[in-house]
Amino acid sequence: MAKGSNPSILEYLLGKKDIPAVLPDDFSIGKEDEAAYYVSLAYNSWLNDEKAIDKLKELSEL
């Protein structure tokens, strides 16, 4: 799960962090720049599934 491997993914998806307007040229696995890349590509898919966002909120509290 993202919470364990890259907590920044949850922070971006849940709106706790703003997705950078400009992404870096490369990224490192498990780092914040990887999370920014992933969320910049997948954000709309997550937002289109309200149940998925609700589940992320629930899981982020564990």
Domain count, the chain: 1
What are the pLDDT digits (tens) for 14-55?
889 999 999 988 999 999 999 999 999 998 898 899 898 888
Q: From CA 4, how far away is CA 45, in angstroms rounded?
A: 21
Task: Tell me how many degrees the CA angle 32-55-36 measures, rounded to the nearest 5.
Answer: 15
Distance of CA 18 to the CA centre of its chain: 10
- The structure tokens listed for 9 are 């993914």
Maximum distance among all Cα pairs of the chain, rounded to whole angstroms = 33
Provide the pLDDT for residue 4. Answer: 67
- Helices vs. strands in the chain: H and E counts, helices first: 4, 0
pTM (global) more than 0.85: no
